[in-house]
């Protein structure tokens, strides 16, 4: 029977280290903003060590042939990051494939994970179904939670701001950490904790549970003013709210969900919600208010975005420089692990 290693303060001196990542698969939308960007902005001011990874290797795990689209998305994602206010002075923004130590760690971790365990990961299971993967699933795809464990542990990150769907990845990461630490009776890797935003997952403009590029129910951070207006004014509301006088439903009404996520004046939102429930508050009025809130949020992002679009050379240089820094840190972890695994020649 595996004995538990008593919890120690071996990593305490490192302080809090934050790591998150996104697959570069297109532009960021307001669901990303509510789900994890807000937290990242908070954390970069609160903690000394923040890492934000553009997961290009992971993006290839379900469409290896789409490398060109992935690499184009890398720049768009970096521009989105900068435009929302993630600051490369405070957050190390880097590209996964430029940190080869992550791949080496992944291969070492693979020895501690069974096929059955990979197939049991609920998020992977879901995605496999959605994508119609059966036994022909690429091994890289099935294995991406292991590579995610490498991404997190390489930097000794203990805080990982993610959406709900990523909780199984964190669980698997900690299993790998415990298994390796136990096997070598050395606390070489650090456990981590998921930080899930209170807002939870933002519904689509059509009221569907999830924003999805393919469905086309997202508001992108890069949408122009006119597009935002069309999308907000065309949003799904309570289908039972036919006349202004009718009582309306706030729950499951995405217009109110967005107001709760983004309006700085939550007292006003509460007032509007009460009024809507009683009846007498029209959908157009609520949407107009939401439009104002969204434009206030998105206009400065849009303006900065346009500036950064012109600075792609500098951005690429920044990404490369930060990736080199990330690589040096990951190298330390890899060296320590190889030592305990007797791979120190």
Q: Which residues bind ligand TRP (CB under 6 A)?
A: 19-23, 53, 55, 58, 148, 151-152, 160, 162, 166
Stated as kind and residue range, the H or E segment containing 61 is none
Whichever of 168 and 248 has its CB closer to ligand TRP, that residue is: 168
User: Considering the complex, what minimum distance in angstroms separates the CB of residue 194 from ligand TRP?
Assistant: 9
> Which residue, among 267, 252, 265, has the nearest Cα to 292 in the 3D structure?
265
Calculate the alpha carbon distances from 138 to 61, 113, 116, 132, 187 in Å: 7, 16, 15, 12, 32
User: Considering the complex, what minimum distance in angstroms separates the CB of residue 115 from ligand TRP?
Assistant: 20
Q: Are strands 17-22 and 49-54 parallel, antiparallel or unpaired?
A: parallel
Whichever of 23 and 287 has its CB closer to ligand TRP, that residue is: 23
- CA-to-CA distance for 343 and 284, rounded, in angstroms? 66
- Quote the strand ranges of 105-221, DSSP E: 159-162, 193-196
User: Considering the complex, what minimum distance in angstroms separates the CB of residue 32 from ligand TRP?
Assistant: 9
Whichever of 60 and 162 has its CB closer to ligand TRP, that residue is: 162
User: Considering the complex, what minimum distance in angstroms separates the CB of residue 293 from ligand TRP?
Assistant: 26
Whichever of 91 and 148 has its CB closer to ligand TRP, that residue is: 148
The angle formed by the CA atoms of residues 319, 322 and 323, to the nearest 5 degrees, is 80
Whichever of 95 and 273 has its CB closer to ligand TRP, that residue is: 95
- The upper half-sphere exposure of residue 73, i.e. CA atoms within 13 Å in the direction of its Cβ, equals 18
User: Considering the complex, what minimum distance in angstroms separates the CB of residue 22 from ligand TRP?
Assistant: 5
Calculate the alpha carbon distances from 206 to 183, 283, 292 in Å: 50, 14, 19
Distance of CA 293 to the CA centre of its chain: 23
Residue 156's SS3 state is coil
- CA-to-CA distance for 295 and 188, rounded, in angstroms? 47
Whichever of 166 and 237 has its CB closer to ligand TRP, that residue is: 166
User: Considering the complex, what minimum distance in angstroms separates the CB of residue 286 from ligand TRP?
Assistant: 31
User: Considering the complex, what minimum distance in angstroms separates the CB of residue 51 from ligand TRP?
Assistant: 9
The residue whose Cβ lies closest to ligand TRP is 21
Whichever of 19 and 281 has its CB closer to ligand TRP, that residue is: 19
- CA-to-CA distance for 138 and 88, rounded, in angstroms? 34
């Amino acid at each position: 029977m595996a004995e538990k290693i008593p919890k120690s303060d071996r990593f305490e001196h490192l302080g809090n280290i934050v790591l998150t990542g996104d697959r570069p698969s297109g532009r960021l939308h307001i669901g990303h903003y509510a789900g994890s960007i807000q937290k990242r902005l908070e954390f970069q001011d609160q903690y000394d060590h923040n890492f934000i990874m553009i997961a290009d290797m992971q993006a290839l795990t379900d469409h290896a042939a789409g490398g060109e689209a992935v690499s184009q998305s890398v720049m768009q994602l970096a521009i989105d990051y900068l435009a929302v206010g993630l600051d490369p002075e405070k957050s190390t923004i880097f590209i996964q494939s430029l940190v080869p130590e992550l791949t080496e760690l992944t291969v070492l971790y693979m020895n501690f994970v069974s096929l059955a365990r990979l197939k049991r990961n609920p998020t992977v299971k879901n995605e496999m179904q959605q994508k119609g993967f059966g036994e022909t699933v690429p091994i890289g795809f099935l294995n991406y939670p292991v590579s995610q464990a490498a991404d997190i542990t390489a930097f000794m990150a203990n805080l990982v701001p993610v959406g709900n769907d990523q909780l199984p990845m964190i669980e698997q990461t900690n299993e790998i950490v415990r298994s390796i630490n136990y096997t070598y009776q050395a606390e070489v890797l650090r456990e981590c904790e998921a930080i899930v935003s209170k807002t939870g997952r933002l519904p689509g403009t059509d009221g569907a549970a999830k924003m999805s590029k393919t469905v086309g129910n997202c508001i992108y951070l890069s949408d122009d003013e006119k597009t935002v207006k069309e999308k907000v004014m065309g949003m799904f509301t309570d289908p039972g709210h036919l006349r202004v006088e009718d009582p309306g439903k706030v729950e499951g009404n995405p217009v109110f969900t967005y107001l709760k996520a983004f309006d700085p004046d939550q007292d006003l939102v509460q007032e509007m919600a009460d009024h809507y429930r009683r009846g007498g508050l029209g959908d157009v009025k609520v949407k107009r208010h939401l439009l104002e809130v969204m434009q206030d949020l998105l206009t400065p992002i849009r303006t900065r975005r346009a500036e950064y679009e012109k600075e792609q050379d500098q951005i690429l240089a920044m990404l490369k420089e930060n990736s080199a820094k990330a690589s040096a840190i990951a190298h330390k972890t890899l060296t320590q692990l190889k030592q305990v695994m007797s791979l120190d020649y």
